[in-house]
Amino acid sequence: MYLADLSWPEVEQLAPDTPLVFPVAAVEQHGRHLPVYVDSYLLGETVRRAELALKDKVLFAPLQWFGNSHHHLDFAGTLSASPRGYLDLLNDLTENALAHGFKRIVFLNGHGGNITPGKQAVFEMRQNHRESSDLLLLFATYWEFAKPWETRDDLVQRQMGHACEWETSMMQVIQPHLVKDVKNLETVDFGFAFEPAYRGWITKDRTVPGHIGSPQFATPEKGEHLFASFSSGLVEFIQQVVEWNGQWE
């Protein structure tokens, strides 16, 4: 179900046990070969496929395209909330959901820059509502629901990059006319210096063209496999939320 399609009495009847999912993505540069709306396109398609399987078991809010992308601001077209501002946005959405009686709230993410503030948001909100023993607050990123290389051996990457083999392949499925030629692009390494420490970075520290990974190996066939893997994993995850017994497990 989609929140945008329902009247307020219909929404009111769904609380508190229906999971309410907030898809959160971004508008930001995706290299020289992809449009700035990639993260939102890909998350939207993953949600669309999952909704077809879940139907009346879950309520999906409209996709929130405004993400934390300050690390991409050196590249034109990026639109970004600051990390603290983004955290406050997620906290406000959670408070909205709680005010309407929902107790199972999931932020479904489609952008790497949202991960740190997203986890912090659900961590803070649980502390702010410590009296509620039946409250489930989750932040999850869609590409963590599957290991697609285990079921397709021609995938070069073993992790999500940025405007990479995975994202480019998926865009070739749903918006092929927006994907420019990738055959002359070169791999940009994933690596961080000073591991296992986590180094603060901005995107231009790590890449000149804007992509990270290997977009030159993208194909629509890989993209369909990725969508199928991630959406199937998402459905399994949401089923766990639906069946949650209220215990810490």
CATH number of residue 81's parent domain: 3.40.50.10310
For position 164, what pLDDT does the model report? Answer: 98
Query: Would residue 205 count as lying in a domain?
Result: no
Query: Would residue 182 count as lying in a domain?
Result: no
Query: Would residue 175 count as lying in a domain?
Result: no
**CB of 71 closer than 8 Å to CB of 62:** no
Query: Would residue 236 count as lying in a domain?
Result: yes
Query: Would residue 187 count as lying in a domain?
Result: no
For position 247, what pLDDT does the model report? Answer: 83
Tally the domains of the chain: 1
- Whether residue 196 has a cis bond before it, omega within 30° of 0: yes
For position 192, what pLDDT does the model report? Answer: 82
For position 248, what pLDDT does the model report? Answer: 83
Q: Which domain holds residue 58?
A: 3-150+225-242
Query: Would residue 217 count as lying in a domain?
Result: no
Question: What is the tens place of the pLDDT at every residue in 79-129?
Answer: 999 999 999 999 999 999 999 999 999 999 999 999 999 999 999 999 999
Return d(Cα 134, Cα 238) in angstroms, integer: 17
Return d(Cα 79, Cα 29) in angstroms, integer: 9
Phi/psi at 247 (5° precision): -100, 155
Query: Would residue 247 count as lying in a domain?
Result: no
- Chunked in runs of 10, what are the mean pLDDT values of the chain (249 residues)? 97 94 98 98 98 96 98 98 95 97 97 97 96 95 98 97 98 98 96 89 95 98 98 98 88
124 CB-contact burial (10 Å; exposed 0-12 / middle 13-18 / buried 19+): middle
Query: Would residue 51 count as lying in a domain?
Result: yes
Question: What is the per-residue DSSP string for the chain?
Answer: -BGGGS-HHHHHHHTTTS-EEEEE--B--BTTTB-TTHHHHHHHHHHHHHHHHHGGG-EEPPPB--B--GGGTTSTT-BB--HHHHHHHHHHHHHHHHHTT--EEEEEE--GGGHHHHHHHHHHHHHHTTT-TT-EEEEEEGGGS--GGGS-TT---SS--BSSHHHHHHHHHH-GGGPPP-TT---B----TTTTSPPP--HHHH-SSS-BB-GGG--HHHHHHHHHHHHHHHHHHHHHHHT--SS--
Residue 102 token pair: 């929902």
For position 191, what pLDDT does the model report? Answer: 85
What pTM value is reported for the model?
A: 0.96
Question: What is the tens place of the pLDDT at every residue in 200-216?
Answer: 999 999 999 999 999 99
